[in-house]
Homo-oligomer: A and B are copies of this chain.
């Protein structure tokens, strides 16, 4: 016999313990887009405690829609092995380009990150960071629905050895640090550089190059890396995104 109250209790109890358990982690990632999920996968595989906080109900960011809602993505040869490692099918288009179904790619990145041991908390936004002695040391979280419903409700906080901003173009965490913390960013001007117009070739390279620490305790990956350190915009080609997520994980593993 099915007992709704037991079901409710199971969900409340399990979730609240999972949330409490992740109030203190090795790495907190803002944004469950492709680069953030790749980063989480490689960190979790090495046994690190990783939590991703995602604003939306669903994960995946801008990857579901391919280009102009035509749900295919393109990946360069050098990133194909990441697709292979995750088990995402791809087919060669022409020299050096591989095509993959954008929905399969998004869902698989997510499933594998979780199976590697990362935790994802969806419907949650980071509205601020926690600061100690000029170092980012955690996120200040609230339900996105609270913000959408314009309710006046206080957030909670969580602590992380490192925070990764994987919020894409918006670079939400970078901008919070820039505007509220009084910490100077490790960019040329000390401020976020912003993305330039599209030049996919350069962008793919700079996305990976710009992946790294942008403020004490704060890393950037994916499109957020170019938004922070400057670089042109990418098109619907996702190699740089995946490689950036992997690089961020590798850099963090050296530190942790």
Contacts and interface: CB of A to CB of B under 8 A. Distances in A.
Tell me whether chain A's interface is mostly helix, strand or loop, or mixed: mixed
A174 interface: no
B65 A123 contact: yes
A107 interface: yes
Contacts of A13: 16, 20
A236 B155 contact: yes
Interface residues on A, range: 35 or more
Interface string A91-115: 0011001010101101110110011
Given A61-B152, A152-B61, A197-B181, A104 B93 contact: no
A4 B65 contact: no
A201 interface: yes
Given A143-B69, A181-B197, A236 B154 contact: yes
Nearest to A120: B103
A235 interface: yes
A59 B145 contact: no
Interface string A27-71: 000000000000000000000000000001111111011111111
Interface string A185-207: 00000000011111111001000
A23 B9 contact: yes
Nearest to A104: B114
Given A13-B20, A15-B71, A159-B4, A123 B110 contact: no
A89 to B, nearest CB: 7
Interface in A141-155: 141-146, 148-149, 151-155
Contact of A60 (B58, B145, B146): B58
